[in-house]
């Protein structure tokens, strides 16, 4: 009984230490047992987040019908549950017209760092090829001393390695060069491709090529496409990554950048790979602007939007969602939350 009472005192939301403005809480809440956020964002249904902490059942528990009868037959290749039907990519050219086609990852519906095969970002210009592995060849020729042809069987005889790494289009978040916020979900805002590879900078010069994927982060929960159902405890979560190495720190703000607190980094933290960050937050039901800012092991810092625009510029007009207005964008991204729990893109 003594231990039970002590546990209740530790999980009382009124005793949780605030570390920054507008309800950001100490990241140590997420370390160790982490029971204080049980039943909050981690158990929320797709498309929504609930802030209610875990409570005793309001009625007598009964066995669920699915547990009283045999389940479905195991398939040779297992498919996602039917309850995951909304966890799909946004497709730009579903009818296969003769133009570019893209499929964008639903990051607001994913909670880990591994993207399932079927949800990878893809852009193609001639449709998805149907390649027979037995007929596929890798050819090395041109300005080489010894041209070579490899079959897949021959390649399979060489030593292999497995690596976790991120894959990002060079024009990722290009729409955020817009002079005004765009009210689309995180899929549309985050993953698109740019055809502009000679960007004109504010000083009148241009990059001939710009291929480095700079340090970047953004919040995926909550984000546009999700809704906060009621005031209470939530977990702010997102991904950070850098083409220069490991992520060393992510700071989170709930008041538009006026105050910041350090988020917890979820292991593993690997070089040039997605790193999941997490931050406990008590939403009081009022307006909030959520932001994240990342650092990598070489000391590179994700720029604020003002810093980015001063260096790279911005568009003069709001681009169409399907446009290719510029190239890689890695500035701090802001999500504005209103009193209804709605989440929108904002500049702050």
Q: State how far the Cα of 194 lies from the Cα of 154, in Å rounded to an integer.
A: 36
Q: State how far the Cα of 46 lies from the Cα of 154, in Å rounded to an integer.
A: 44
Ranges in the chain, pLDDT < 70 = 1-16, 31-55, 171, 174, 179, 183-200, 207-210, 320-326
Helix (H) / strand (E) element for 253: namely strand 247-253
Distances from the Cα of 74 to the Cα of 70, 97, 156, angstroms: 11, 37, 30
Predicted pLDDT at 86 = 93
Question: Which long-range contacts (C-beta less than 8 Å, at least 24 apart) are formed by 149-158?
Answer: none
pTM: 0.82
Predicted pLDDT at 11 = 40
Q: Of the CATH numbers 2.60.40.650, 3.40.190.10, 2.30.30.100, 2.60.120.560, which one belongs to the domain with range 174-346?
A: 2.60.40.650
Predicted pLDDT at 138 = 97
Stretch(es) of the chain classified as CATH 2.60.40.650: 174-346
Predicted pLDDT at 164 = 93
Torsion of CA 296, 300, 302, 303, to 10 degrees: 170
In the 8-state DSSP scheme, what is residue 206? B
Predicted pLDDT at 69 = 93
Predicted pLDDT at 291 = 98
Gyration radius from the chain CA atoms: 23
> For residue range 256-286, what is the model confidence (pLDDT) as tens digits?
999 999 999 999 999 999 999 999 999 999 9
Predicted pLDDT at 16 = 66
Token pair recorded at residue 304: 């604020």
What are the phi and psi torsion angles at 122 (to 5°)? -140, 140
Predicted pLDDT at 98 = 87
From the CB of residue 244, how many other CB atoms can be counted at a distance below 10 Å?
A: 16
Helix (H) / strand (E) element for 310: namely helix 305-312
Predicted pLDDT at 42 = 44
Token pair recorded at residue 201: 């900078």
């Amino acid at each position: 009984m003594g231990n039970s009472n002590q546990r209740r005192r530790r999980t009382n939301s009124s005793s949780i230490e605030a570390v920054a403005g507008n309800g950001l809480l100490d990241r140590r809440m997420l370390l160790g047992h982490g029971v204080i956020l049980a039943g909050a964002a981690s158990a929320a249904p797709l498309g929504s987040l609930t802030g209610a902490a875990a409570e005793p059942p309001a009625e007598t528990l009964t066995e669920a019908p699915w547990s009283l009868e045999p389940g479905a037959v195991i398939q040779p290749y297992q498919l996602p549950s039917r309850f995951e039907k909304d966890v799909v990519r946004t497709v730009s050219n579903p009818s296969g017209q003769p133009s570019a086609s893209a499929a964008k990852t639903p990051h607001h519906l994913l909670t880990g760092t591994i993207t399932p095969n079927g949800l990878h970002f893809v852009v193609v210009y001639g449709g998805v090829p149907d390649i027979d592995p037995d007929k596929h060849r890798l050819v090395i020729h041109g300005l080489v001393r010894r041209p070579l042809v490899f079959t897949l069987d021959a390649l399979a005889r060489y030593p292999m390695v497995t690596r976790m790494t991120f894959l990002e289009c060079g024009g990722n978040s290009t729409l955020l060069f817009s002079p005004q916020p765009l009210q689309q979900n995180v899929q549309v805002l985050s993953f698109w491709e740019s055809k502009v590879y000679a960007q004109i900078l504010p000083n009148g010069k241009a990059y001939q090529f710009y291929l480095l994927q700079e340090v970047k982060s953004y919040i995926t929960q909550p984000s546009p496409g999700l809704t906060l159902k009621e005031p209470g405890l939530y977990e702010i979560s997102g991904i950070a990554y850098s083409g220069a190495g490991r992520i060393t720190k992510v700071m989170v703000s709930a008041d538009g950048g006026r105050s910041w607190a350090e988020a917890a980094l979820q292991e593993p933290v690997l070089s040039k790979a997605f790193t999941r960050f997490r931050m406990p937050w008590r939403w009081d039901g009022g307006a909030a602007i959520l932001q994240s800012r990342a650092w990598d092991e070489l000391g590179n810092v994700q720029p604020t939007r003002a810093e980015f625009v001063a260096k790279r510029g911005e568009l003069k007009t709001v681009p169409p969602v399907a446009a290719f207005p510029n190239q890689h964008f890695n500035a701090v991204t802001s999500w504005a939350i209103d009193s209804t729990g709605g989440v929108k893109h904002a500049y702050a």
